[in-house]
Amino acid sequence: MILGNHDRGKDPSGETLLKQIRVLQEKYCAWELRIFNNQLNILSARPCSSGGGYYISNEVKAVYGPISEQESVNKILKSSEKIIKDFPLIVMSHAGPSGLGSDPSSICGKDWKEPSCDWGDRDLAVAISEIQKKRKIDLVIFGHMHNRLKRNQGFRKMFKIDKEGTAYLNSAIVPRYKTNKKGELFINFSWVEFLENKLTYISQRWYSEWGEICEEEVLFRN
């Protein structure tokens, strides 16, 4: 788990953020590599990001110190040195990287006021580029930029593949809960499948409270 900008709390002392970190214990990731289920490399980026290039909130400064943009890049790259080469690599961040488009409907595009622009994280983009020089990144997964655009502009593009073959998935389907005409509750999950260490399937699924798939939008199939 990586925390987002709304998770840090309006508490410049950092105590609210620290309380959450203590509760999450080993589930919490920030600038770290975790080997999940002895099958996946999960590399986490800067915590509590609000996008827009590079910004460290007072809450994050209180917990981690005044980390510069280059220091954040270095922390991601340092953790990447522990990657197990035979396992797929997933990079996890709250906000996505810069460089994926500047239209309102781009996967990390600013949509709430004009002019639209690229609202991704620069430090994450640089780290991804450096890691790609050494090995493939299978998937970068993030949220923050909601699928429904502001100012009645429609919906965001939530999936992209770059020229290096890295897939980018924005999982910010908001709200995550909805009801049908019968009043039945549906819950959204982003679904990703690997087969023999290769990314094979990505979709957005709506489940009933009983675990049945009620709706599915397939974003990638290989």
Q: Would you list the DSSP string of 98-115?
A: SSS--STTSTTB--SSSS
| 4: confidence class by pLDDT, cuts 50, 70, 90 | very high
pLDDT one-digit tens code per residue, 6-46: 999 899 999 999 999 999 999 999 999 999 999 999 999 99
> 177 near 116, Cβ under 8 Å?
no
| 208: confidence class by pLDDT, cuts 50, 70, 90 | very high
Is the previous residue joined to 66 through a cis bond, with omega within 30 degrees of 0? no
HEC-encoded secondary structure of 177-199:
EEECCCCCEEEEEEEEEEECCEE
> 153 near 105, Cβ under 8 Å?
yes
Burial of 198 per CB tally in 10 Å (0-12, 13-18, 19+): exposed
Burial of 100 per CB tally in 10 Å (0-12, 13-18, 19+): buried
pLDDT one-digit tens code per residue, 75-112: 999 999 999 999 999 999 999 999 999 999 999 999 99
pLDDT at 171: 98
pLDDT one-digit tens code per residue, 141-198: 999 999 999 999 999 999 999 999 999 999 999 999 999 999 999 999 999 999 999 9
> 222 near 199, Cβ under 8 Å?
yes
pLDDT at 211: 95
pLDDT at 26: 92
Q: Would you list the DSSP string of 126-138?
A: HHHHHHHTTS---
pLDDT at 203: 98
